[in-house]
Amino acid sequence: MINRLKGKFAIITGATSGIGKELAYQLADAGAHLLLTGRRKDRLEDISHDITHRTGVQVFTSAFDISNLQECKDFYQEFSDHPVDILVNNAGLAAGLDPVQTAAIDDWEQMIDTNIKGLIYMTRLFLPGMLARNEGHILNVSSIAGHESYPSGSIYCATKHAVHAFTRSLKMDVGHTDIRVGLVSPGAVETEFSMVRFKGDRKKADSVYSGIEPLTAGDIAEIILFMLNRPPHVNILDTFVVPTAQSSGTIIHRKG
C-alpha cells in the first residue's frame, strides 16, 4: 500500500493510553511526526522517548487540560509555527453508567467538557491554518454511542451524538476545500475506558469484556491509519466498527 503519511505532522489528543497511544506508534511507524497531548506528562514523555528511540520521527508532547479553553489557546500558540496536516481528536471518556435520575452531575460535566468542548476547541483553533493551506485532515474519535443511545449512558451518548453532529456540519462547512473530515465510531474496545467509567472498579470493568473478544486499541488505530492514508480525493466520513460478538450498544453475545 502507498504510504502517504511519511513526513506528515499529526496532533493526537488523549495520546497517553488506549487508541491514542496505539495510533501514535502506528503513525510513527508510517513516518509521521507527532505532537502528542494528554493530561499525564510522565506518560507522554515515556511514549515520546520510546517512539523516538524506535523510529526517526520527531515527537513533541504537551500536557494540558483540553477542556480548558485558555490552555488549548496556549497550546495552539506554542505550536502555531508547525503546519498541522492531521488532527486526531481522540481525547474522551465515560464517567459513570447511571440513570438520569441518579447520575452525578459532576460526571456529566466532565464528559461534556472533555468529549465535546475539548474537541470543538481544538478543531476551531487548528482549522484556520489548514484552510489557509487548503490541506488537512481532522479525524474525530466517536463511539457506537454516537449512533444510538443505551440505558444509563445518557450524557455519554449525548456527547458522542454531539461529536457526530459537529463532524457532519464541519464537513459541510469545509466542503468547498480540500480539507478532509472523518469519524470513527467503535463499539467495545478493551482499553482503560471501562476502568475510567467505573472509577477503578476492576470487576465491573472486566465484566464489559467478559465472554467476548473485544476490539483492541490496535484494531481501531489501524482503521484510523487506513482512513488517513487514503488518496486526497477519498474522504471516509465514518467507520462504525464493533466486535463480531456485538450487534448494538446493548446486544452482545457472550460465550460461557
Which part of the chain contacts ligand 8X3 (CB under 6 A), choosing from 22-30, 37-45, 66-74, 139-147?
Answer: 139-147
Identify residue 81 by its one-letter amino acid code.
Answer: D
- Site size toward ligand 8X3, by CB under 6 A: 6
Residue 128 belongs to what H/E stretch? helix 119-133
Cα torsion angle, 155, 161, 163, 165, sign: negative
Establish whether 21 is a catalytic residue.
no
**Is residue 77 a contact partner of residue 129, using CB atoms and an 8 Å limit?**
no
DSSP-derived secondary structure letter, 253:
-
Query: From residue 224 to residue 253, what is the string marking binding to ligand 8X3 with x (rule CB under 6 A)?
Result: -------------------------x----
Spatial separation of the C-alpha atoms in residues 252 and 57, rounded to whole Å: 40
> Quick check: is 156 catalytic?
yes
- Applying CB under 6 A, does 159 fall inside the site for ligand 8X3? no
Q: Which residue among 144, 155, 212, 223 contacts ligand 8X3 (CB under 6 A)?
A: 144
Report whether 87 contacts 126 (CB < 8 A).
yes
Q: Which CB, 84 or 215, lies closer to ligand 8X3?
A: 215
Q: Is residue 187 part of the contact set for ligand 8X3 (CB under 6 A)?
A: yes
- Please compute Rg for the chain using Cα positions: 18
- CA 18 to CA 20: how far, in whole Å? 6
Query: Is residue 91 near ligand 8X3 by the rule CB under 6 A?
Result: no
Query: CA–CA separation, 142 vs 145, rounded Å?
Result: 8
Question: Which residue sits closest to ligand 8X3, CB atoms considered?
Answer: 143
Is 138 a binder of ligand 8X3 (CB under 6 A)? no
Q: How far is the CB of 159 from ligand 8X3 (least distance, A)?
A: 10
How many Å apart are CA 233 and CA 184, to the nearest integer? Answer: 19
Copy the grid coordinates of residue 118: 475539548
Among residues 66, 119, 127, 188, the one that binds ligand 8X3 under rule CB under 6 A: 188
Closest approach of Cβ 216 to ligand 8X3, in Å?
13
* 184 in contact with ligand 8X3 (CB under 6 A): no
Where on the chain is the footprint of ligand 8X3 (CB under 6 A)? 143-145, 187-188, 249
Catalytic residue positions, numbered: 156, 160
